[in-house]
Amino acid sequence: MSTARNKARTRAFQILFEADHRGVTPQSVLADWVRRARTPDEGTPQVSEYTMELVEGYSQHAARIDDLLATYAVGWTLDRMPIVDRNVLRLGAYELIWEDGVPDAVVLDESVEIAKEFSTDESPAFVNGLLARLLELKPSLRASRD
């Protein structure tokens, strides 16, 4: 079952992944995707408003999100995390702490589904565990969110 939000979230993950892989800003990859989506016959998927919101929202809080992930990922540095997991977690953390319109359970479920689709067998449990930890801390994280 693929909803519009689910597709938007997957596209946002793909944009963050591509930016991380290429060493460029997520905004520059987003701009490329939007431009290519307007070009007929290129086969690039459309970029929805929600995809843009997620990429821009993450980008606005990227340093804080990476700091949170590095702090609470027991035994893992951000650099050692698989690139897929790192970007699923970035997106999930942003949505969990800064997006008020999405239920927490949906953020966790969708993040785990993206990890299942794009990463290793161990990744869904890792993603779920770290986002669940951030969820426990959400009241204090929200109070101090930038």
Band of residue 112 on the pLDDT scale cut at 50, 70, 90: very high
With a cut of 50, say whether residue 1 has pLDDT above it. no
Q: What average pLDDT does the segment 24-46 reach?
A: 85
Residue 63: other Cβ atoms inside 10 A: 9
Overall pTM surpassing 0.85 (yes/no): yes
At residue 143, the pLDDT reads 78
Cα separation of the two ends of the chain: 34
Query: Is residue 17 a contact partner of residue 58, using CB atoms and an 8 Å limit?
Result: no
Q: What is the dihedral of CA 130, 136, 137, 140, to 10 degrees?
A: 160
How many residues in total does the chain contain? 146
> Measured between alpha carbons, how far is 54 from 40 in angstroms, rounded to an integer?
25
The proportion of the chain whose per-residue pLDDT surpasses 90, expressed as a percent, equals 78
